[in-house]
Amino acid sequence: MRTEELEDGSRLSAATRYESLVGVSNAIGTYRDPKELFGALVRELHRVVRFDYIGVAIRDEKSNTFHRHCVDAQTEAAIPPDPELGMEESDAWWVYQNQEPLVTSLETCDARFSRLLEVLKKFGVHCLCTLPLTTAHSKVGTLTFGSKAPDVYPADEVHFLSVVAEQIALAFDNALHFEAAQASQRQLLKKSERVGLLLELTNHLVSNLEFRDLLRAVVASTRRVMGCDGAGITLADSDNSHLRIYALDFPLKDESIQEESLVSMDQDVSGAVFRTGKLWCGSLVEARRLGMKGSAQIEVGTACVLPLVSRGRVLGTFGVLKYQDNAFSGDDIEFLTQIGNQVAIAVENACAFGEIRELKDQLSKEKLYLEDEIRTEMNFAQIIGNSTSLRKVLKHVETVAPTDSTVLIYGETGTGKELIARAIHDLSPRRAKPFVKLNCAAIPTGLLESELFGHEKGAFTGAIAQRIGRFEVANGGSIFLDEIGEVPLELQTKLLRVLQEREFERLGSSRTLRTDARLIAATNRDLEAMVSEQKFRSDLFFRLNVFPIHVPPLRERQGDIPILVRHFTEQFSRRMKKVMETIPSAAMDALSRYHWPGNIRELQNVIERAVIISTGPALSVDVADLKFSKAGLPEEKAATLNSKTNGALRDVLKETERQQILKALKQSNWIVAGPNGAADRLGMKRSTLRLRMHKLGISRPTA
C-alpha cells in the first residue's frame, strides 16, 4: 500500500489519509460561518495535506470579484492580498474559469502568471496547487495550497487534493447558503420592524391628539428601529425666517439644542432643505460646515435631513444621524422618506385642526357677541324713548309676554313693530326657542303657502325637494307675520285653522302636523275696514285681535326725538369711524318739529345721511331729506306746514354752515387756498368755498 509523508514526518497510507479526510470533512461540516470555517480548515487539513500556506477565493457574482482569504499555516496569521495583482492575472481566475486544477511553481515560465511568480518569491513559496471549489449546483470559488518545498504536488497528490476540494466546496457552499439565509432573515426582520414602525406611526396619527406628543413618539420610534444616534423634527416658525425644533431625541446633544430652539434658515442645512424641498445626506463634518449643531467631540458620522412635503408645500424638516461613515443606504433613505410622508400628513392635519380650532373659537366669540347684540338691540334696550305713549306700549308688552295669547301689533310703517314683537318673545317663556319672522308682503302669493306650511317633493313644478314651513320651524317658539293684511283670502282659512286647531298639512301631503308656535302679527292697514270690504276674513280678524297693541307714530313721541337722534348719531359715527362731538341745537330743534311721515325708519335714514356728509365734529343735516308732507293732513295745511318746517331747517342749516366756514377761516388766518387753507380744512374745492362765502355773505373784516 502506498504511503505518504506528512509535514510532521509521520507517514500515512492512502487508505488512512482518506479515512482521516472523512474526519476532517465531518469536523469542518459543522461550521456555518465562512470565517470560522476557514479557520477550521487551517487546523484540520494539516492532518491529511502538506502545505505552508492556504487560501480560498470565494466568487461574488454581484460585484464580479473574488473575496480572498490567505493565512500562514504555522502562525495562522492573515496574509493580505497583493493590491497590484489583477484578478485576471491570478491563478484563482484561471482555475475558476476553466474548472481545472493548476500547479504553479517558480520554474513556471508562463507569462500569464509573471506577477503571481513575483508574489511567490516575496513570501518564499516554491509551488502552488489551486483547485476549483465546485458543487453540483454552483461554482463556489477556488482553494490554494502553497509550499516552500519544491515538487510537493505531483499528479497523484493533486488527485487527492481534488477530493479534499470537493469536501471543502460542500462545506463552503453550506456556509454561504446559511449566511445568505441568515442575511435574508435579518433583512426580513428589518423589513418587518420597519413595516411595524409605519403601522405604529399610523396608530399614533389616529390616536394621539396632542400634536407635540405625536412628533416625540415619531422621533423616538424612528431612532429605535433605524438604530440612529439622534432624530429630530423642525417646523417653520411664524416669521418664516427660522425653523423651530418641535421634537428631539438626541442623548448627546449640546445644551444649545433643545426643543423650542430656533434654527436660522440661512445658517443651517435644515434651512437649505426647507427652502429647496430636497433631501440632504452627508458627513457630520460637512453638516457642521453648513451650520448644523451637534456634539463637537464626534468626528465620524452621517446626517440625513429630509423635507416634510404635503400637497406640494414644505412644512418642515425631519433629520436623523448616525456616528458612522456612509451610514444610510438607498433603502434607508427610501424608508425615511416614507416616514417623512407620514409625518407631513400629521403636521398638515394638525395645522388644519389648529385653524379649525381658531375659527371655532372665533365663531364662539362672534356667537356670544351676536347673542349680546340680540339681547341689547332686539329688546327694550333697543326700544329708545321715554315718552308716555311708548311707556304705555311697553307696559302692554310686559303684560302679554308671559302668556301664549295671539298679539296683533298695528301702527304706521317704520314705527318699530318688529322690535315690539321681539320684545314680546324675549320676555316670554319661549325665549329659548326660535323667533321666526316672515314678511307676508315680500313673498309672491303662489309661494306664501309653501313658506308658511312647507311642501313635499313634487308638490308643484319646481318642488325638487321637501321643504319645512315656518310654522314647523317655530314649533315651541314664536312666529312673527308682518304685513298680515297682505295674506290672500284663500290662505286665511288655513291660517285660521292653525290658530284654532294648531294643525296643518304640507303642500302635497295628507299627513297632519301639529305645531305649538305662538303667533304675533303686525300690520299698518286698517283690518276692520278690510273686513267690511270683505278683503279680510272677520273670524281671522277676531282671532288675531285677542290682544291688540298700537305702536304710536314718531310725531306723537316728540320728546323721544332728541334721544333717538343722539342714539342714531352715535351708532352711525361708530360704524363709519367718525367723531360727532356736537349736534347743533338749531338742527335738533328743527328735527324735533318735523312731522316724520316715515317715522323712526325715516329718522334713522336722515341721521345716517347726515353722518356721511358731515366733514367736521358737528352733525350736518341736509334739509333736502325733509320734504314729505304730513300724512293724513289736508293738502293745503300739509303744504303750509311743510313749507314752514323746511324754511326753519334751511335757516338753521345756513347758520350752521356759516359758523363752520367762519371757524375754518379764522383758524387759517383767512387764507382760502393752499395746504393749510380753509378749503383744505373743510374738505372743499377753493371755488366751491368762495361760492358759499358769497351766498352766505361772508367777507374778510377790514382792519
Q: What are 103-136's pLDDT values in tens digits?
A: 888 877 666 777 777 888 888 888 889 999 888 7
- 371 found inside a domain: no
Residue 471 near residue 453 (C-beta atoms within 8 A): yes
Q: Are residues 426 and 513 in the same domain?
A: yes
- What CATH number is associated with residue 32? 3.30.450.40
pLDDT band for position 626 (cuts 50, 70, 90) = low
Q: Are residues 574 and 675 in the same domain?
A: yes
| Number of Cβ atoms within 10 Å of the Cβ of 576 | 12
Residue 132 cell numbers, joined: 476549483
- What CATH number is associated with residue 490? 3.40.50.300
Q: Which residue has the higher pLDDT, 542 or 221?
A: 542
- 665 found inside a domain: yes
Q: Per-residue pLDDT averaged across 228-256, rounded?
A: 78
Q: Are residues 621 and 565 in the same domain?
A: yes
What's the pLDDT at 397?
92
What DSSP assignment string belongs to 617-653? SB----GGG--PPPTTS-HHHHHHHHHHHHHHHHHHH
Q: Are residues 168 and 22 in the same domain?
A: yes
3-state SS, one letter per residue, for 563-632? HHHHHHHHHHHHHCCCCCCECCHHHHHHHHHCCCCCHHHHHHHHHHHHHHHCCCCECCCCHHHCCCCCCC
Can you tell me which residue has the cell 423635507? 307
Q: Are residues 270 and 214 in the same domain?
A: yes
Which DSSP category does 700 fall into?
P
What's the pLDDT at 632?
42
| Number of Cβ atoms within 10 Å of the Cβ of 399 | 12
Q: Which of 552, 582, 601 is the last residue of a domain?
A: 552
- 383 found inside a domain: no
Q: Are residues 51 and 133 in the same domain?
A: yes
pLDDT band for position 402 (cuts 50, 70, 90) = very high
Maximal C-alpha separation, the chain:
161
- 419 found inside a domain: yes
- Our count of domains for the chain comes to 4
Q: Are residues 172 and 212 in the same domain?
A: no
What's the pLDDT at 478?
93
pLDDT in tens, 337-381: 888 887 888 778 777 777 777 777 666 655 554 554 444 444 455
Q: Which of 125, 146, 181 is the last residue of a domain?
A: 181
Distance (Å, whole) CA 280 – CA 277: 10
pLDDT in tens, 62-79: 767 787 888 887 777 888
pLDDT band for position 520 (cuts 50, 70, 90) = very high
Q: Are residues 92 and 220 in the same domain?
A: no
- What CATH number is associated with residue 571? 1.10.8.60
Q: Per-residue pLDDT averaged across 149-159, rounded?
A: 85
Q: Are residues 173 and 233 in the same domain?
A: no
Residue 180: which residues within 8 A CB-CB, separation 6 or more? Answer: none
What's the pLDDT at 190?
61
What's the pLDDT at 381?
52
Distance (Å, whole) CA 648 – CA 646: 5
Q: How far is CA 606 from CA 596, 627, 643, in A?
A: 10, 11, 18
Q: Which of 533, 552, 571 is the last residue of a domain?
A: 552
What's the pLDDT at 482?
92
Residue 46 cell numbers, joined: 494539516
pLDDT in tens, 451-483: 888 888 888 877 788 888 888 888 889 999 999
3-state SS, one letter per residue, for 442-479? HCCHHHHHHHHHEECCCCCCCCCCCEECHHHHCCCCEE
Q: Are residues 545 and 560 in the same domain?
A: no
Alpha carbon 370 to chain centroid distance? 28
Q: Are residues 632 and 572 in the same domain?
A: yes
Distance (Å, whole) CA 451 – CA 468: 8
Q: Which residue has the higher pLDDT, 318 or 684?
A: 318
- 164 found inside a domain: yes
Q: Which residue has the higher pLDDT, 256 or 484?
A: 484
- 399 found inside a domain: yes
Whole-model pTM above 0.75?
no
Q: Are residues 112 and 163 in the same domain?
A: yes
Distance (Å, whole) CA 659 – CA 359: 50
- 202 found inside a domain: no
Lowest mean pLDDT among 17-26, 105-114, 115-124, 421-430: 17-26
Range(s) of the domain holding residue 212: 208-354
- 200 found inside a domain: no
